[in-house]
């Protein structure tokens, strides 16, 4: 009887430990998109880091066709660095198709340009994000999405996109902190849950831009650069579609030099970003990565 109980407990323990260690990928049709479930309320997406160019798929003929170099590597490294901190993993959703074949960060018309294979991959990509959101909200009550990109604008800086163009971010503090303005951005749930003002979260001393800048990665919006100059990526389709209801988050555009250009630099930035995320999520949402 006692031995049986012991065995049962061991079995239960093994089951409880499983989600943090086991990373079984789920794939879409032809392995064009991949979902790696995690156990944290954090979902990292990589739409523009894919390399596959299936010969049967025509190239897209309009929109941006160039990939964001090394962003899939950076996304995987960030997840690995988060796991090193506390043994837990974010959920990952990755597009393996090159951007010339599919752009998951656009509505389907521009994303797939009528190609049935691309349309299927686009649907599966966003269905995986929905699946991750539902799993995370069920387990943790809310979800945080980060859409991982790389930009090549002049001047080295990380661009954080909360769905507002610079013309909106340059308005008065009163306008930025008004409920109707907050509702237009991707941090509405974060404002509600943290109890902080919107301007604190956009460019205050504990904003994402401030924390990344403190690690040596110049960022905007931040206390140093509260209003980005153009060109600037304000966040796209994925953040607009998925950061609603009980989900919040932002688009991250990493500049290339010192962040994406070499394996050592990618590793260093991924580690710094993991450390910053731990501070940010625990400080604003009481979410522990450990
Ligand atoms: Zn991109």
Q: What is the pLDDT of residues 198-243, one digit of tens each?
A: 999 999 999 999 999 999 999 999 999 999 999 999 999 999 999 9
The label of the residue with tokens 């409880």 reads: 16
* Burial class of 58 by CB neighbour count within 10 A (0 to 12, 13 to 18, 19+): middle
**Inter-axis angle of helices 263-285 and 71-86, to 10 degrees?**
60
The pair of structure tokens assigned to 28 is: 């879409």
Q: Tens digit of pLDDT for each residue in 249-288?
A: 999 999 999 999 999 999 999 999 999 999 999 999 999 9
Compute, in angstroms, the gap from residue 214 CA to the centroid of ligand 1. 24
pLDDT at 1: 43
Per-residue pLDDT at 47 exceeds 50: yes
pLDDT at 23: 78
pLDDT at 140: 97
Q: Tens digit of pLDDT for each residue in 231-247?
A: 999 999 999 999 999 99
Compute, in angstroms, the gap from residue 84 CA to the centroid of ligand 1. 26
Compute, in angstroms, the gap from residue 115 CA to the centroid of ligand 1. 21
pLDDT at 7: 53
Q: Where do the domains of the chain lie, and which CATH numbers do they carry?
A: 25-171+228-285 (3.40.630.40)
Compute, in angstroms, the gap from residue 47 CA to the centroid of ligand 1. 7
Over pLDDT 90: what percentage of the chain?
A: 92
Compute, in angstroms, the gap from residue 149 CA to the centroid of ligand 1. 4
Compute, in angstroms, the gap from residue 180 CA to the centroid of ligand 1. 28
Compute, in angstroms, the gap from residue 17 CA to the centroid of ligand 1. 35
Compute, in angstroms, the gap from residue 3 CA to the centroid of ligand 1. 56
CA distance 215 to 81: 15
Per-residue pLDDT at 30 exceeds 70: yes
């Amino acid at each position: 009887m006692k031995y049986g109980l012991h065995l049962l407990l061991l079995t239960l323990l093994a089951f409880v430990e499983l989600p943090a260690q086991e990373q079984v990928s789920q794939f879409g049709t032809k392995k064009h998109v991949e979902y790696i479930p995690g156990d944290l309320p954090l979902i990292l997406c990589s739409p523009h880091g894919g390399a596959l160019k299936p010969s049967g798929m025509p190239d897209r003929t309009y929109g941006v066709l160039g990939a964001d170099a090394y962003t899939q590597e950076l996304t995987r490294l960030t997840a690995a660095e988060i796991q090193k901190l506390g043994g837990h993993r974010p959920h990952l959703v990755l597009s393996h198709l090159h951007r010339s074949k599919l752009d998951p960060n656009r509505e389907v018309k521009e994303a797939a340009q009528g190609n049935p294979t691309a349309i299927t991959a686009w649907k599966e990509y966003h269905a995986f994000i929905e699946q991750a959101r539902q799993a995370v909200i069920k387990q943790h009550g809310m979800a945080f999405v980060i859409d991982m990109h790389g930009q090549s604008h002049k001047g080295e800086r990380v661009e954080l996109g909360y769905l507002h163009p610079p013309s909106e971010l340059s308005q008065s503090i009163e306008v930025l902190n008004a409920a109707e303005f907050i509702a237009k951005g991707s941090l509405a749930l974060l404002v509600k849950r943290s109890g902080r003002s919107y301007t604190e979260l956009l460019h205050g001393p504990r904003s994402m831009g401030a924390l990344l800048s403190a690690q040596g990665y110049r960022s905007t919006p931040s206390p140093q650069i509260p209003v980005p100059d153009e060109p600037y990526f304000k966040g796209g389709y994925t953040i607009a579609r998925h950061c609603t209801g009980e989900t919040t988050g932002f688009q991250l555009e990493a500049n290339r030099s010192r962040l994406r250009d070499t394996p050592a630099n990618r590793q260093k930035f991924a580690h710094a970003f993991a450390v910053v995320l731990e501070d940010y999520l625990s400080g604003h949402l009481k979410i522990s990565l450990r």
